[in-house]
Structure 1
């Protein structure tokens, strides 16, 4: 297959995941990924800077910031974050099996686990910046974004491990609702 064949990026992602799961991330080369996808190494590098980027290239920062900016001005910061997380949940719904396999590869490699933590911190920073642009104070923006990422991570684990899950967006909302109960438990009157 030549580079003009459709969906080169998708084929490279799938080939990389298959090889990472079969052989391990460290033992897999870019040449092997390209060969399995029926493409050249040059084509691989048109789509990804290195073999880690196959796992970390989704433009989630931009999606989160855009979704926060799109919420009405009167929206509470946590609700703006909830809307942003629901917006990116759709991207995950379309690729649940990829997300599951990606997680397995990351769990098996300490360096990739560190990279995942960096990515989560980057997503929190993007949300905090988007909240600040809406006029939210520094502390509130940072705290809200970090809470959002924590809810996202818990919801992701629940969603990915479920045999027949609800929608990812619904699980995120439930995680945020549970957080509200933790922060402000119901008072007996």
Structure 2
């Protein structure tokens, strides 16, 4: 693969996923990932601080969630703003062309405790970003925290359904349904 081809981060992520599946996460080096992608080690480090981060997309998802919340109409309540952000993720990030990659990625994460830990930390960061975005919209702190936690749980449920083999439903509708289910479960006494 020529070095001048576009989307170096995507190429690095695809190469890393292939190598992690073939050799295991622990047995794959940054140099091997870069070589598989047709890039250099320094190019790898231009985009990612370490090999764990190559499967986590930098701050892309958090940025999209914050943008989705911020772009909701001013009269939209906190819960609907969070739902709008999940819809936006489905339109811009969790698209049909990323479904197979995402399922494979999750299998690699599930097989490696270090990557599961990194995923948990990323989810905490994204939830905190949602709290901040909701607070900036004027939601009280407790409301922002509760809505962000509910939206994060709905996201996790929807993501698990979205990557299931044979599923063709979009992430946005799955997330909306999961959010409704989470809210209904919370109403049970």
Q: Does 1:30 align with 2:46?
A: no
Deviation at 1:2, TM superposition (A): 4.7
- 2:117 is aligned to 114
- 1:20 is aligned to 20
Aligned partners of 1:127 and 1:169: how far apart in 2? Answer: 17
- 2:50 is aligned to 50
Q: Aligned to 1:92, what secondary structure does the other structure show?
A: coil
Q: 1:183 to 1:10 in 2, by over 3 A?
A: closer
**Residues 65 and 126, structure 1, Cα contact 8 Å, conserved in 2:** yes
- Normalising by structure 1, we get a TM-score of 0.91
Deviation at 1:52, TM superposition (A): 1.1
Greater displacement, 18-27 / 46-55:
46-55
- Normalising by structure 2, we get a TM-score of 0.91
Greater displacement, 169-178 / 41-50:
41-50
2:147 is aligned, of 136, 144, 147, to 144
Deviation at 1:57, TM superposition (A): 2.3
| Structure 1 residues without counterparts, runs of 5 or longer | none
Q: CA RMSD in A?
A: 1.5
**Residues 154 and 178, structure 2, Cα contact 8 Å, conserved in 1:** yes
Which structure has the larger Rg?
Answer: 1
Q: Does 1:70 align with 2:58?
A: no
Aligned partners of 1:183 and 1:2: how far apart in 2? Answer: 53
**Residues 90 and 171, structure 2, Cα contact 8 Å, conserved in 1:** yes
**Residues 153 and 182, structure 2, Cα contact 8 Å, conserved in 1:** no
- 2:129 is aligned to 126
Deviations 1:125-158 (A, max 9, x none): 1111111111111111001000100000011111
